[in-house]
């Protein structure tokens, strides 16, 4: 695999971005690749960043994974302003580029959905463009998933959309739409770039999840060809 950067975003908050990022980090590390996983900006605590820190087995410090963190659980740009701070795109991009120099694969997890404001006048879409990253859109596999995934894809610039992947994350109690969603979505988007991640339980453990053969196969197919 050549040197690549993937940006993990979602159709909303709490859809499984951290789960996917941590699993990819473990899977790629076990394949012998030098991989970094970042959550550059977060608000409402650093729980997601700590999950990534554990998945990397010490490859990066917590502050390298998550340099910008704010206490209040709200859009990062507003949480930063409450602390009289400003997050600028140039600084965040510079941090990621410094990490890119050290690792073959860099996984960058956004905060909230694709268009949620991350800092002053930029969101995850702007970040994807600046980094020329491959977007991975995480979406819960339930009723409404096709609309949500297509809206996120439509919001991407053309070049980013051409290489984007969609990851449908299974829910603990699948509804009637879950089985038909991948096929229906494939009528509007390349089916080879649609992936399904099984439900891994309420207490997520990256080590246990990456040991699941089905999960490992899905993760490797997800990054193959990048």
Q: Is the dihedral of CA 204, 207, 211, 217 positive or negative?
A: positive
Across residues 218-226, what is the average pLDDT?
88
Query: Quick one: pLDDT at residue 1?
Result: 61
What is the model's pLDDT at position 207? 62
Q: What are phi and psi of 38, to 5 degrees?
A: -120, 145
pLDDT tens, position by position, 169-197? 999 899 999 999 999 999 999 999 999 99
Q: Do 110 and 6 meet the contact criterion of CB atoms below 8 Å apart?
A: no
C-alpha span between 222 and 226 (Å, rounded): 9
Q: Which domains does the chain have, with CATH numbers?
A: 4-223 (3.40.50.300)
Residue-level pLDDT at 62: 98
Instruction: Give which of 90, 80, 88, 34 is closest to 57, Cα–Cα.
Output: 34
For 48-80, how does the pLDDT look when each residue is reduced to its tens digit (9 = 90+)? Answer: 999 999 999 899 999 999 999 999 999 999 999
Give burial (CB, 10 Å; 0-12/13-18/19+) of 37.
buried
* Residue numbers annotated as active site: 39
Are 81 and 69 in contact by the 8 Å Cβ rule? The answer is: no
pLDDT at 212 over 80: no
Task: Quote the percentage of the chain above a pLDDT of 90.
Answer: 83
How many helices (H) and strands (E) in the chain?
11, 10
Mean pLDDT of the chain: 93
Distance CA 66, CA 211 (A): 26
């Amino acid at each position: 695999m050549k040197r690549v950067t993937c940006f993990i975003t979602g159709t909303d908050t709490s859809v499984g971005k951290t789960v996917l990022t941590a699993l990819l980090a473990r899977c790629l590390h076990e394949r012998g690749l030098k991989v970094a996983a970042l959550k550059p900006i977060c608000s409402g605590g650093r729980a997601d960043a700590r999950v990534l820190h554990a998945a990397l087995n010490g490859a990066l410090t917590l502050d390298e994974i998550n340099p910008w963190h704010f206490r209040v659980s709200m859009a990062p740009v507003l949480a930063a302003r409450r602390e009289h701070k400003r997050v600028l795109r140039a600084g965040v991009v510079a941090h990621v580029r410094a990490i890119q120099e050290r690792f073959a694969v860099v996984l960058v997890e956004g905060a909230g959905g694709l268009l949620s404001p991350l800092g002053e006048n930029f969101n995850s879409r702007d970040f994807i463009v600046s980094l020329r990253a491959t977007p991975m859109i995480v979406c819960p596999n339930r009723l409404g998933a096709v609309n949500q995934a297509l809206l996120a894809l439509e919001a991407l610039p053309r070049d980013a959309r051409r290489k984007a992947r969609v990851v449908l994350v299974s829910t603990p109690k699948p509804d009637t739409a879950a089985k038909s969603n991948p096929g229906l979505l494939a009528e509007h988007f390349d089916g080879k770039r649609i992936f399904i991640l099984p439900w891994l339980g309420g207490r997520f453990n990256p080590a246990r999840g990456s040991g699941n053969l089905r999960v490992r196969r899905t993760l490797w197919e997800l990054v193959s060809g990048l």
